[in-house]
Amino acid sequence: MKIAILSNGTGNYSTKRLVEVARARGHEVEVVKYRDCYASIEKSNPTVSYRGEDLGQYDAVIPRIAAYMTRYGTAIVRQLEMQGVYSVSSSLAIVRSRDKLRSMQVLAKAGVGIPKTVVSRNSTDIDDLIDKLGGTPVIIKLARGTHGNGVVLAESKKAAKSVLQAFYLTNEDGTNVLLQEFIKESAGTDIRAFVVGGRVVASMQRKSLDDDFRSNLHKGGEGTPIKLTDEERKTAVKAAKALGLNIAGVDLMRSERGPLVLEVNASPGFGVEKVTGRDVATAVIEYVEMNAKRRNKKDKVGA
Ligand code: ADP
């Protein structure tokens, strides 16, 4: 098969692993920097080009779109879908997962446990909002933050109010700010479940190394392998499915009322391989092999 990995980070671990595994399994594979792709939008003839080459000839693409380039990256994926190229993650699912408010709404509707969340355009009703969440402390987060940046723990109503006011200053659109109940039972730890095609293929627990309540590895958190309970596994799979993601990194927290999903990542890093010894890259390529063939046989057009 001809596989394109859409990634701007040609040298990063996840990209390198995908290339290595795909080559070993006999595929022709190229890393395509989507930031250098261009789309030609024309009646009945959508094309995507990269260094003069038409990407429509690929059998499958694996998008690894960075959060900061979601709009451009997903526009390229969408155009490829319109050309009939199989994309393991759909442009729609990637866009959906990048917005925390939208994801929370979709997950809640699908019956997936999430921390209680409220959204408001101003801080005048702060007392009521905090009461709805069961009191302080509360978490305040930007809907499009990544790596734990833009996630704040407010210990008191006063603190919450001033943080909210500061966030609203730079976010006229109130949908960018979420208030969330603080899950204190597992402060400083969370679980990353790597889901491929409706199965958890690897999972790890992340712990912050200092007294930070955020456990993100980018913030200095540490990962250890963890065995999930049945309920946690089912929750992770259900969350990925609700957002329409075949490949997903589902972040969840253990709480007194069961697993709660914080976020579903559309381009999860493969660092979990180093922590768990599981071969995630092979699971991804196997999934692509099975599904690209099936879809290409069935239907060449449409997105
Ligand atoms: P990001 O997408 O920026 O990583 P997250 O929503 O995943 O943002 O939050 C970052 C970290 O903050 C999580 O990994 C978790 O450790 C902590 N955290 C987030 N939400 C809560 C919450 N409601 N209660 C307790 N801790 C939280």
Give residue 171's pLDDT.
67
Give residue 60's pLDDT.
97
Residue ending a domain, among 140, 167, 182, is: 182
Within a domain: residue 79?
Answer: yes
Confidence of residue 174 (pLDDT cuts 50, 70, 90): low
* Spacing, Cα 207 to ligand 1 middle (Å): 12
Give residue 303's pLDDT.
37
- Do 63 and 6 contact (CB within 8 A), yes or no? yes
Within a domain: residue 202?
Answer: yes
Per-residue pLDDT reduced to its tens digit, 144-160: 777 777 889 999 999 99
Tell whether ligand 1 has an atom less than 6 A from the beta carbon of residue 81. no
Q: Does 241 lie in the same domain as 103?
A: yes
Q: Does 197 lie in the same domain as 162?
A: no
- Do 123 and 290 contact (CB within 8 A), yes or no? no
Hey, whose CA ends up nearest to atom 16 of ligand 1? 214
Q: Which are the contacts of 43, defined by CB distance < 8 A and separation ≥ 6?
A: none
Name the residue among 23, 113, 225, 171 with its Cα closest to residue 3: 23
Mean pLDDT on 154-179:
83
* Spacing, Cα 213 to ligand 1 middle (Å): 8
Mean pLDDT on 12-23:
97
Q: Does 192 lie in the same domain as 107?
A: yes
List the structure tokens of 290. Answer: 């099975």
* Spacing, Cα 44 to ligand 1 middle (Å): 44
Within a domain: residue 74?
Answer: yes
Within a domain: residue 145?
Answer: yes
Q: Does 261 lie in the same domain as 135?
A: no
Name the residue among 80, 72, 180 with its Cα closest to residue 129: 180
Per-residue pLDDT reduced to its tens digit, 227-253: 999 999 999 999 999 999 999 999 999
Q: Does 217 lie in the same domain as 68?
A: no
Q: Does 107 lie in the same domain as 195?
A: yes
Give residue 219's pLDDT.
66
Q: How many CB atoms lie within 10 A of CB 278?
A: 19
List the structure tokens of 286. Answer: 């196997």
Mean pLDDT on 111-140:
90
Within a domain: residue 274?
Answer: no
Tell whether ligand 1 has an atom less than 6 A from the beta carbon of residue 78. no
Domain holding 33: CATH number? 3.40.50.20
Per-residue pLDDT reduced to its tens digit, 42-62: 888 889 999 989 998 999 999
Within a domain: residue 288?
Answer: no
Distance CA 94, CA 245 (A): 8
Q: Does 238 lie in the same domain as 159?
A: no
Hey, whose CA ends up nearest to atom 2 of ligand 1? 146
Q: Does 75 lie in the same domain as 106?
A: no
Within a domain: residue 293?
Answer: no
Give residue 181's pLDDT.
95
Distance CA 189, CA 86 (A): 36
Q: Computed from CA positions of residues 280, 282, 288, 290, in that sequence, does the dihedral angle turn out positive or negative?
A: negative
Question: Which whole-number Å values give the CA distances from 17 to 91, 157, 287, in the listed order?
Answer: 23, 47, 15
Q: Does 231 lie in the same domain as 102?
A: yes
Domain count, the chain: 3
- Do 4 and 57 contact (CB within 8 A), yes or no? no
Domain holding 148: CATH number? 3.30.1490.20
Give residue 76's pLDDT.
96
Q: Is 246 exposed, middle or buried (0-12, 13-18, 19+ CB in 10 A)?
A: buried
Q: Which are the contacts of 109, defined by CB distance < 8 A and separation ≥ 6?
A: 242
Confidence of residue 217 (pLDDT cuts 50, 70, 90): low
Q: Does 195 lie in the same domain as 106?
A: yes
Give the percent of the chain with pLDDT over 90. Answer: 72
Range of the domain at 197: 91-112+185-266
Give residue 175's pLDDT.
67
- Top mean pLDDT of 169-183, 198-212, 286-300 is at 198-212
Scanning the chain, the segments in alpha helix (DSSP H) are: 13-24, 70-82, 91-97, 100-109, 126-132, 157-170, 230-243, 271-276, 280-298
Confidence of residue 166 (pLDDT cuts 50, 70, 90): confident
Within a domain: residue 20?
Answer: yes
> Residue 73: pLDDT above 50?
yes
Q: Does 40 lie in the same domain as 84?
A: yes
Q: pTM of the full predicted structure?
A: 0.93
* Spacing, Cα 151 to ligand 1 middle (Å): 7
Q: Tell me whether strands 177-181 and 138-142 are parallel, antiparallel or unpaired.
A: antiparallel
Q: Does 196 lie in the same domain as 257?
A: yes
Note the maximum CA span of the chain: 61
